A and B are shown apart, each in its own frame.
Chain A
Amino acid sequence: MRNQPETLHEYNIPRLHWWFLLSGFVFLLSLVLMIWVDYSGGYAPWLALHGDREWKNYQHQFYTLDMKRLADDAKAAEVKANEAGLARMQDDLEKTNGELSGKKAEETKLQAAVDQARVEDDLITRQFTMEKAMRDQDRSLYEEALERDNMNTDVPEVRESKNKAEKQNDFVSKLDLLKQQADAKLQATKDNQTVLMGHEVELQHNIKRLDDGIKLLTTRYKQLDSSLVQGVVNAPVIEFAAGTIKVEQIIADKHHTDVNFATVPRVDRCIMCHKGIDRKDPTPEDRDWRAKHKIEVIEWSRQPQPLRNHPQMDLFVGDTSPHPATTYGCTVCHWGWDRETTFSRSGHTPEAEEKQPYILDASTKQWVKAPKSEDDEDDDTKAQKVVVSKTNVVEMTQKEVWQKNHNWEEEEFLMQPMRSAKYVQASCLKCHNAQTNLKGGEKLDHGRRLIEQLGCWSCHKMKQMETYTTHHVAAGEDFEGLCKFYDVNADDVRRLNGFPQEVSLTIGQEVNIPIRTLRKPGPSLYKVASKTNKEWMRKWLDNPVAFRPNTYMPRFWGLDNNAGTPDRNAVEINAIAEYLFAVSDQPKYPVPPVQGDAENGKKLVGQLGCMGCHVIDEKLMDVKVPASLKQYMDDWQYRRLRSQGPQLAGVGSKAGGNWLYAWLKDPKQYHPRTKMPNLRLGDQEAADVATYLAGLHNEKTDQETLPEAKGELLDKETIEYLQVTLPMEEARKKINNLDDLIELYFVDEETMKYYQDPARLAREETQLKALQKEFEETFDDAVDRKAKKLAAQIEQVKVKIQAAKQTVAGMQFTDKKNVYLGSKLIFRYGCYACHDIHGFETAKPIGTELSEWGSKPVDKLDFGLVDIEKGRLSWLKQKLHAPRSFDRGRIDVTRMPQELLRMGKFNLTDEQIDQIVTVVSGMTDEKLTPNEARQLTPAEFQIERGRWTVKELNCIGCHIVEAQGGAVRATGIATGMEPPLLSGTPTQLHQGQRTQPDWLFQFIKAPQTGQIRPWLHVRMPTFGLTDGEANVLVKYFALQGEAQFPYQSPKIDMTPEHLAAGKQLFEQLKCALCHIVDGKALGKPLAEIPEEDLPRLAPNLSQAHLRLQRDWLVNKWLVEPLAQQPGTRMPQFEYGTAIAPNILGGDGRKQIEALVDYVLTLGTHEQVAEVVPAPAPVAAPTQPQAQP
């Protein structure tokens, strides 16, 4: 460094030093502040600043709680140890120790002896092992030598090695002896020692075991309790080594999330705050035990969030649940930004929209739910020890509280914001859409059934509603074999997968196997003119709910965007009605052959089981399910089951007696797709019911008059639609000549194609001429046949077109306009998506595809001028609630009539809307790998098919299957008169175990009235199922009951003694008293039994050999009838010596088998011939009272 002369300075350098000092100091402070903010989750009141790490607070809270738990557990362990005699053991140990101290010398000596013996034993063992190895080597050398010298034992080399091996062998034997002696000596010394010390050792062992549990807990407690340890391990920077307050995560690497263009495993950090999520609540026993010993226990389910545990541990999170947290994580179901560690940005979504009282907790500066009041403090708030004064309670929504507590704000760009608890079942759909009856997925199930019945899917494509399972083709599998294996229709598989007629499969290919196919939900309108009248049709279109409160038909007019144009609506309604009647087939229904009796009809409707699917009194729609059936269905399910068919009140206003009679006799002749089964009504029965129903009039509908459709408006709107394709001037002219535009609606589906492709006819005629020419040249017969066929086809088409032309020509001018406008309106509203309508066989549904709606960005949704929260779900709710409301304020000014929204308004309750929202929000674009999706086994596949069928056919409207349904029981059907239980009572009755598959198949296909329970009025209907459909049900029951399938007939012991014993029991137990045998019961022929006694009857046993399975009778039914079918009148006998000591030696099991085998021969020719006269009647065994 050079010496510099003193120079002038531009600044005052000493003052700059001060500046430097000051700025450096402030810099240091700001760095400290930065680290504090980055490190801490606390609150600095003097800066009004929160630290960034909110989660650390929760981990602190959790560890505080966990310390309490540890202390409690340690205490409990101590008490338990004492109960197990720890103190006594310790006493004993001390005593033993005291005794031992007197024998110290002896103990030392013994120990020395043991040590000595161990050394000796060790030495000899080592030597033995070595020499034994040598011997083995010698043996092997000898064998080698022998082989080398061609097995000649005389060669010296061989002899020598043999000697050596023998010598060594002797030596090893000697050593072995020595070793055994040494072992014995060691054992003996040890035994000596044990005699002296044994008790002590055992005690020490036991004490250690008990002590360890306590020590483990207390050590952990001390670790957590020591603020020094905690302070050091959690200090900034060094915390990474072994901090207890730390970032934690679950890597659910089988489940993926889409981050822009990359698919990455989910890394869930939810457990950083939700640390108690997997903590189990104490068992009731534990709770009682602790209460008795005055030890507190932590109820994790009652902790405030985020410390609370998962509410459904048996299904989620728990290690033994089907979705353990360690492999599934959290966000795979809950959504949210998996890697985020702050409250708001992880995507928490508020749920409760209504305001609730909150108070500010002074210690944490957090708003917490206020206890409702002093006395009705509920479980949720018990844990919070907050002093409540009425003054500081603030009413807030959850959102507002979050804004205050966590600076919550909507994360608008998060692709998967967390699902609020209300709709969380939506997530089940992505993996389980093939399954129904999901445990914990009830809302989803309800929603899907509702969507199916409302027909949402028929306008809006929803891939998730197409239920199928995916098969991965293995080597050697072909298409036919696959279809056979799954027992599915090959055409259905082709359609679902888009396969051509000839299918060739490659290994590893995915083939979707349909579980069920959806059917158009609305009735066919092909023959509507024969069923009802135009007047009713117009009223119905105007407002379906006014006529039938539980209808699935939506309302299209009088809504937000067209309520203001009643005249226009009248024209549209009229046009559609005119169209439907104009194109309808017109079969005539003859008058019933017999006179109907309405009174008897009413009785029949109540008795036959119609009420399992229908409702007649509209008040019934609000009725709740009776308490006795609550275990089988909730109110919603009950109403849904009974809405399978339409509400019948007022049906007479719609259809006449002739039509009703024909419909009841055979519903499929009118509407082949109908779900209405045939009840095999006799002429008289059908006439009675038809008369009764025809008399049910809806007075309001009858008296209602609709506004007249005005001619000038009809013209105006017709021109509007003509203008879509024509210039205005031409449209005005065209209205006078609509013939060619409407002809096509009066031809059949095939001929319609000629209208859609106008050049086709000319083309075919050219083709025909070419063929004819070719024939003239070649005289080829095949060509001639082809030509003739084509000619016939052309001729037929021409005839049909001509007929249509004539029909149209014969129509009134107004009718033509109506038919034209009607057809356009049917296109606009998409009526054909649900109904069969002539002329619309090939039309495409009008709705937007919803298969990925759950991932639709909010800004793609048009909220119009409706002031609601700008969220995906709030939009959907609004859409379902008032589908046209997004047009509000836009009508006339900014929207032409044809630009208006057109979705119909369904009559939905808030609850139903929530169910649909759950399903639709679950339809996302998430792509699942085969690992993630739930794969069904072939057996599960068959079970699911059965489950869907049971729902679709509404079997559970009458029967209880898998502990669901039985709605008909709530309609006043007497106990004992209801349809039989099929499966899944709480005690596990299984139809598949009870009946033989062959019988069940026949019965489902063609049930016969009065065979098994002839006294029942309720009638099993004929559904007209195909063999395949019936098989689905039979297989389902068999697999679901884990019964053997296919069925093998049992071996029945036919020895006369055995059957005689059975018969003797049969008579002694008076089985024939209730059971129908030989057409008799209660000692009388069936016909003579008075009405009130009918419920006391039991099934016809003559059918038993065809119907029941022996295994079930022997192992289940005769052993525990009440457990199989609660409320049954079948007594539970105490077989064996208690009831018949002298039959089969009083062996209960043998008696049951004999009885069953006897019953199974009833009705067969092998039945034991002679019947011993019944002894004098004894008191019937006490019959258990039927449960209410």
Chain B
Amino acid sequence: MEHAAAGHGVLFEAFKEVANILATPWLSFSLTTIGLLLMLRFRRYVFNWWIGILAIAIESGVIIWGMKDPNFSLIVGKPDNVPITAMLFISTFVLWLAMTQAVNNDRRVEQKLPPDEKETSNQKTWVWPDLLYIEFIALIICSIVLILWAIYLRAPLEQPANPAATPNPSKAPWYFLGLQEMLVYYDPWYAGVVLPSIIVVGLMAIPYIDTNPKGGGYFTFAERKFSIGIFLFGYLALWVFMIITGTFLRGPGWNFFGPFEYWDPHKIVALNNVNLSDYVWVKWFQWIYQKTHIEWFNQGLPQVRNAIPQLLPPDPTSIRLFLVEVGHAIKREFAGILFLAFYFLALPGILAKTILKKFYEQLDLARYSVLVMLFLTMFTLPLKMVLRWTMTLKYFVDTPWIKF
């Protein structure tokens, strides 16, 4: 058993304690989001050499210092998790590199100078030998790293999988951990099928939606604040953050553990999540009933049975039963349905007049619709995450057939 080893000093213990608290989902997600916003707001002061080195140094410091803790080193040192640790650094570096250049270009644009890239490239890109040669060298170096790494880790073929004894936690490969994390918040059908499809389709749609020529061939932020900001939020705050959460913070039983916490397989967490309809029918209506004593509010949660309509060949009875149950479901889930209707139907219009006014004007209706649907779909995730953490909300709409 790797219970936290004592004897590393008060400072270290305090550091672990703070790290564990900071890792709490609602806190870490909020901090990530706020941090991202602040970083973009103060990009001129953030993205320079010194802060870049400092960021990498802090990250390395935390990891190296943290390795003194057996629980932490067990998680970080696990061969499967090494790429994620590397990803922390790589993401930081790539973000820093792009943003530094973007900030630099923005400054040049303010000074009425052309972007850096324009100046250095002289409208030409050297392909041979410059580009291909260094790509080839980079390829060789990558191969070397991979080979040595494989030797060091003994790149194992693992034991045959045993369906009778599954590992706990059962984790997807690291690149799917974001998806697996989504399963916590969505119905499997959505998290596993619909949303990944939308992500792929959405990424494919970008060139057709994004017809803005600005930023082509050079880095900029000021000229494309909204697009880049949304992308960074989706990529960093949602995707990378969820991979990191899934890798380092999800332990046995898919429970949440701080990075310095012992992964106790017997940890029991009360996960009593409720639907929006529970809030409405049970909590709020009861409250109203207590106040007003109107009997209608005292009916409790309406029941909905799972009826499957038989369509081939059509069976009127089953279809009728199904429709009756759909009616019950609509009654029960009316709040969620209203909310989602508002979210997906009314909000695009409102956004068109406010935040997305510029896009609405630039794009035609079809493109705008696709954009806003993708945008809103993406934001259901943070919305659901926040509601889960704050009010243990499970689904907005929970019917036997569709859950969202």
Contacts and interface: CB of A to CB of B under 8 A. Distances in A.
Real binding pair: yes
Interface of A: 7-11, 13, 16, 19-20, 23-24, 26-27, 30-31, 33-34, 37, 49, 52, 259-261, 337, 345, 411-415, 855, 857-859
Contacts of A24: 140
Interface stretch (B164-172, B214-222, B382-390): B164-172
Given A9-B126, A19-B137, A23-B141, A857 B164 contact: yes
Nearest to A10: B130
B213 interface: no
Contacts, number: 79
B41 interface: no
Interface string B133-156: 110110011011001101100100
Contact of B164 (A9, A19, A31, A415): A415
Contact of B144 (A8, A23, A337, A411): A23
A344 to B, nearest CB: 10
- Give me the 7 closest cross-chain CB pairs, A-B, nearest first: A857-B165, A23-B140, A30-B147, A413-B162, A10-B130, A413-B159, A30-B144
Contact of A37 (B136, B151, B165): B151
B129 interface: yes
B129 A13 contact: yes
Contacts of A13: 129-130, 133
A412 B140 CA distance: 37
Interface string B240-265: 00000000000000000000000001
B207 interface: no
B7 interface: no
B133 A411 contact: no
Given A16-B137, A415-B165, A9 B130 contact: yes
A16 B133 contact: yes
Contacts of B313: none
A412 B133 contact: no
B161 interface: yes
Contacts of B133: 11, 13, 16, 20
9 contacts: A11-B133, A11-B134, A30-B143, A412-B165, A413-B167, A414-B159, A415-B164, A857-B162, A859-B265
Given A20-B136, A34-B147, A415 B130 contact: no
Nearest to B151: A37
B178 to A, nearest CB: 26
Q: How many B residues touch the partner, as a band?
A: 20 to 34
Nearest to A415: B162
A333 to B, nearest CB: 20
A874 to B, nearest CB: 15
A26 B146 CA distance: 13
Contacts of A858: 165
Contact of B147 (A11, A20, A31, A414): A31
Contacts of B126: 7-10
A30 B146 CA distance: 10
B144 to A, nearest CB: 5
B159 A345 contact: yes
A859 B168 contact: yes
A30 B136 CA distance: 17
A9 B133 CA distance: 12
B161 to A, nearest CB: 6
A26 B145 CA distance: 10
A52 B154 contact: yes
B160 interface: yes
A414 B163 CA distance: 11
Contacts of B168: 859
Contacts of A49: 151
Point out which of B136, B163, B165 has the most chain A C-beta atoms below 10 A from its C-beta: B165
Contacts of B165: 412-413, 415, 857-859
Given A23-B140, A27-B144, A857-B165, A260 B160 contact: yes
A816 to B, nearest CB: 41
Given A30-B148, A415-B165, 16 more contacts: A9-B129, A10-B130, A13-B129, A13-B130, A16-B133, A19-B137, A20-B140, A23-B140, A27-B147, A34-B147, A37-B151, A413-B158, A413-B162, A857-B162, A857-B165, A859-B168
A259 B143 contact: no
A1049 B162 CA distance: 64
A9 B125 CA distance: 10
Contacts of A337: 159-160
Nearest to A345: B159
A7 B163 CA distance: 63
A722 B248 CA distance: 49
A16 B134 contact: yes
Interface in B272-321: none
A1133 to B, nearest CB: 69
B51 to A, nearest CB: 27
B144 A413 contact: no
Contacts of B154: 52
A259 B160 CA distance: 7
Contacts of B161: 260, 413
Point out which of B141, B161, B164, B265 has the most chain A C-beta atoms below 10 A from its C-beta: B164
A345 B159 CA distance: 7
Nearest to B133: A16
Contacts of A11: 130, 133-134
Nearest to B157: A345
Given A16-B133, A859-B165, A27 B140 contact: yes
B282 to A, nearest CB: 24
B97 to A, nearest CB: 17
A8 B125 CA distance: 11
A7 B128 CA distance: 11
Contacts of B144: 23, 26-27, 30
Contacts of A413: 158-162, 165, 167
